[in-house]
Amino acid sequence: MHENPNDHQNPHDHSPAHADGDPYRSNPAYAAPPVYGSFPTYGAPQPDPGATAPFGTTPAATAATPPAPTPRHRSGTPVLVAVLAAGLIGGGLGAGGVALLDHRDSTPAALTSVPSSPRTVDASPGSVTYAAKVASKSTADIAVSGAQGTAVGSGIILTADGYTLTNNHVVSGVGDGGRIQVTLPDGSTHAATVTGVAPSYDLAVIKVSGVSNLTPATLGQSNGLQVGQQVVAVGSPENLSNTVTSGIISALSRTVTAGDESGSQVAVYNGLQTDTPINPGNSGGPLVNLQGQVVGVNSAVDTGQASSGGVQAFGLGFSIPVDTAKRVAEQLMQDGTATKPVLGVSGSLSQATNASQTSVNGARVGSVSADGAAARAGLRAGDVITAIDGSPISNYADLMAQVLRHQPGQQIPITVTDTSGKSEKLTVTLGSAKDDATTTVSTQSAPSQQGSPDQGSPQQDSPFGGLDPFGQ
């Protein structure tokens, strides 16, 4: 066997690779440093003795120095590739790799942080951040203590002197001896009293005592909302003040029904559907667009069969359209009462669409009030109302909800099918009634009058037929 001359160190070689401080030479556990191009296996050329010296050494030194010893380990080419890749990804990570091999004591580098750029968060109009900031300045927390305990909800500040809009079911438990405490955006707490309620719309106005210079909410319009439009909700779910959630408008003009404990009556109103998370304590708080304008009053969420041990439903929240809420709030602030439109018919959810059991889909009229709006328009008992103002009607609850979308005295077109199957369009001028009781629909065969006193208005333990009012 011939001895390889490269196995012996050249005594005249004083390159750094042979210095005592070199980690490869001082610690036998480390392999010798790679010599790039020493293995033809990877296609690298063999060293040329006459070539220019690498890494900046002078030609004279190269000529006097024998070839570097050939390391007895795998080629360094993969190591080079790995270091380059890490350097590209980590920004100089290759240098850190050398430090990892150096066990000498060193001072740890100080940690630094980079301040966020003002442009990192979009707080301009049209952003969720902007909408949240605007709405939070006009959102109050409401706590109502009464004989049944304490109810918690939210409110929308309407005026600088303390008029605040909320849900009727938030304040309905105040009763005799109860009290309302409102926490304003600045953290101060104040007493409040009920100015007026509108049960059919689940709305109420309260007056906060001893305040001034509050920031009133900016009211938008709900009639121009689009499905898919981004919205933001602000409220105090589970007593967590100024909680902000965001989502979209999922549907317009939904029929919201609330059942009483007996199941014989359901309360009805019209609402906006949203997937914006709303939870107990959000009731009465604002649903705003990305300009921070109020487009709805949060009222209920679909819980599926959660109240009876079933599956929880998510992303099904409901808000009262601001166009309706604005009209009602103005009336309540003026004289403490509000009006609602009346069609002047009665019916129930259990009644067939018509006597012949045909496939006509709509709300069958059980009876017509004498001299009422429907009678004046020519409706008769047994007629099936299939559409109101272009909106299709599938049952009697839909009929009542669509009527509540409009204002007293407004003229609206309706489509009806009589008992012979003939369809015609009529124009109805809606009547008016004081809103002192929830609009209800009977689930039994006996017809129920629109606007009859409600014995099961939405309370803390009254599931909305899968819907729970929040704030109780």
Q: Of 38, 154, 169, 299, which is the active-site residue?
A: 169
pLDDT for the residue numbered 289: 97
pLDDT for the residue numbered 279: 82
Active site residue 136: no
Q: How many CB atoms lie within 10 A of CB 242?
A: 16
Low pLDDT (below 50) residues in the chain: 1-9, 11-47, 49-64, 72-101, 305-308, 353-357, 445-472
Number of H helices and E strands in the chain, helices first, is 9, 24
Q: Of 141, 202, 323, 468, which is the active-site residue?
A: 202
Active site residue 202: yes
CA atoms 149, 184, 320, 345: torsion sign:
positive
Nearest to 198 by CA among 158, 234, 236, 170: 170
Domains and CATH numbers, the chain: 5-64+75-90 (no CATH), 122-338+454-472 (2.40.10.120), 339-434 (2.30.42.10)
Q: Please enumerate in sequence order all residues whose Cβ is within 8 A of that of 368, keeping only pairs 6 or more positions apart, or say none.
A: 344, 345, 346, 374, 375, 379, 380, 381
Nearest to 218 by CA among 272, 320, 137, 101: 137
pLDDT for the residue numbered 3: 45
Q: Which two tokens stand for residue 37?
A: 């191009």
Q: Of 250, 283, 448, 457, which is the active-site residue?
A: 283
**For residues 169 and 140, is the Cβ–Cβ distance under 8 A?**
no
Q: Please enumerate in sequence order all residues whose Cβ is within 8 A of that of 192, keeping only pairs 6 or more positions apart, or say none.
A: 142, 162, 164, 180, 181, 182, 206, 207, 208, 209
368: helix, strand or coil: strand
Active site residue 283: yes
pLDDT for the residue numbered 90: 36
Radius of gyration, CA atoms only, the chain: 38
Q: How many CB atoms lie within 10 A of CB 71?
A: 17
pLDDT tens column, 408-426: 999 999 999 998 889 999 9
pLDDT tens column, 180-221: 999 999 999 999 999 999 999 999 999 999 999 999 999 999
Instruction: Give 183's strand partners.
Output: 141, 189
pTM score over 0.85: no
pLDDT for the residue numbered 103: 52
